Amino acid sequence: MSFEVVEKDLLGRAGKIFSPSGSIETPALLPVINPPIQPISPREMKNNFGVEAVITNAYILKKNLGEKVFSTDVHSLLDFDGPVMTDSGAYQLLIYRNVDMTPEEAVAVQEGLKSDISVILDVPTGWNVSRDRAKWTVEETIRRAELTIRISEKKHTLWTGPIQGGMYLDLVKHSAEQIGRMDFDIHALGSPTPVMEQYLFEVLFDMIYTAKSNIPANRPLHLFGAGHPMAFPLVVALGCDTFDSAAYALFARRDRYLTESGTMSATELGYLPCNCPICSSHTAKELRITGRRERELLLARHNLHVCLAEIRRIKQAILDGRLWDLLRSRSLGHPALGKAIKKFRQIQNELSSNTPTTKRRGLLILDEVDIYRPEVTTHIIRLHENYVKPEEAKTLLLMPAPEKRPYHSFPRAVRLKAALRDQLLSGHLHLGFYSPVFGVVPSELDEVYPLSQHELVDLGGREVQARAEKVIVSYIEQNGYKTVILVHDAKRWTKTLTRSCALASSRSGKSFSQETADDPWSEKTLDSVRGLLEQREESP
């Protein structure tokens, strides 16, 4: 096994990749090393920044070293004794449409360099290309992948099978399926850089998810050219285990100062909003008046600190089960990220199956996006698939969920249960609560995580209520009550709730009664509820 998963949250995974030169904790950022113009040495990256692995370009090394490349250890060449990943020159192939290296040479060069992780010489699809061109890049990459597996020795390196197809998701799927059937250790998604540069995070979502869902689950997924740290939580939440980025150096070259949620011009800063060693030892004014070359080096160091700090936040978020919260906070930094996070509702069932069912902290439900959190979806799935009502229960009383949790400890709920003590003890009456977040919460389950372990704002909106109504309707139809009594909260819920519940009761052969009130927990309303129950008991 070259990959071990320790913790999971959303589709993100904290784990380890085992390579010939040591292990790599995931999620991992591999800084891009360009030896001729490298602002931070690989040795400094490891000793001062804690970088575990780096990536460099085998094609560039071949151009610089010539025949020596076949007998030069890449670790001594970079002065880096940790894992080194080498790209094969596919990026240059994308830019220049041709490179002076064959797929066979790419294998020989990387095995000669003793790369810990090697990449076949694939053909990147790129962006804004015709479907015919995209299809050719996929088929040619598959052909080269088969060739690489056939001729490589696989003694000193983990081989990476790239997935191409670009914006053509059916081609991405085909590429992932075919490459996934081959004996690769790692997979990688190519061609995301133009997508990220244009902030097309919804497209990036589809590309990553399509690739991820069509490769073996026990293999890591690498993302080429991940770019800005604002996107790191998104790509990890979608299942990318490693990714490379040259953004720390490229942005520094353009006088750009990175933060986890955006980019600033270094020459316009009044303050340095960071506590990294660079920002702690310089003022904004000192940074502005520093010479151009020196400022670039300082910015590269700051930018790398920001990128690595975000990786540490992501790792801790996975361990704490709070990756969704980090993702939500980053989605506020750019409208395109806000749009991308809404797409998680499309894969909520898969998120649920990959996310722990209990966590050390409660949930934050802040707006309609959060009702698609996997913990919420897990409750809804289990309510539908696993829950069985009490056997003797003939009447369901649905009350609106009170603000105090657990619901049964709400003082008025306590008084209601005391007033209905005989019916509840007999088992004929079953008390449930309806919630805009969880749909239905049977009273005996209201302390189960996360039904009481959450904080929320007063959610409204048609989308929120429509989802909850669907859950309520399903619950009524599938459980064998004879009578349903709904206390309708007229201030917070529209009339569609009562209509939907009445129709569900009618379809499943149940009688239905409702009590509508602006204050559903008032003594007057509770008296009416008791009256409805008494009428039901007296009726034949």
Amino acid letter, residue 505: S
Q: In which order are the strands placed within the sheet that holds 429-435?
A: 439-442, 429-435, 395-400, 483-489, 511-517
H helix runs in 152-200, sequence order:
169-180, 193-197
Cα torsion 463, 464, 467, 469: sign: negative
| Cα gap 267→375, rounded to integer Å | 45
Pairing relationship of beta strands 363-365 and 22-26 according to DSSP bridges: unpaired
Place of tokens 């589709």: 11
User: Which of helix, strand or coil describes residue 536?
Assistant: helix
Amino acid letter, residue 169: L
Amino acid letter, residue 511: S
DSSP characters over 4-18: EEEEEETTEEEEEEE
| Cα gap 64→56, rounded to integer Å | 13
Q: How many residues does the chain have?
A: 540
Contact 293, 252 (CB under 8 A): no
Bridge partners of 57, per DSSP, are: 87
Q: C-alpha angle 240/246/248, rounded to 5°? A: 105
Residues 6+ apart with CB under 8 A from 500: 469, 472, 473
Residues 6+ apart with CB under 8 A from 174: 138, 165
| Cα gap 471→401, rounded to integer Å | 14
| Cα gap 250→245, rounded to integer Å | 9
Active site (annotated) includes residue 518 = no
User: Which of helix, strand or coil describes residue 390?
Assistant: coil
According to the 3-state scheme, what is the secondary structure of 245-280? ECHHHHHHHCCEEEECCEEEEHHHCCCCCCCCHHHH
Amino acid letter, residue 178: Q
Choice among 73, 81, 87, 489 that is catalytic: 87
Residues 6+ apart with CB under 8 A from 60: 34, 35, 36, 89, 92
Picking from 508, 452, 446, 445, the residue whose alpha carbon sits closest to that of residue 475 is 508
User: Which of helix, strand or coil describes residue 406?
Assistant: coil
User: Which of helix, strand or coil describes residue 117?
Assistant: strand
| Cα gap 44→474, rounded to integer Å | 59
Bridge partners of 442, per DSSP, are: 432
Distance of CA 523 to the CA centre of its chain: 46
What are the distances in angstroms from CA 465 to CA 204, 364, 401, 437, 473? 30, 18, 13, 8, 12
Q: Could you list the active site residues?
A: 87
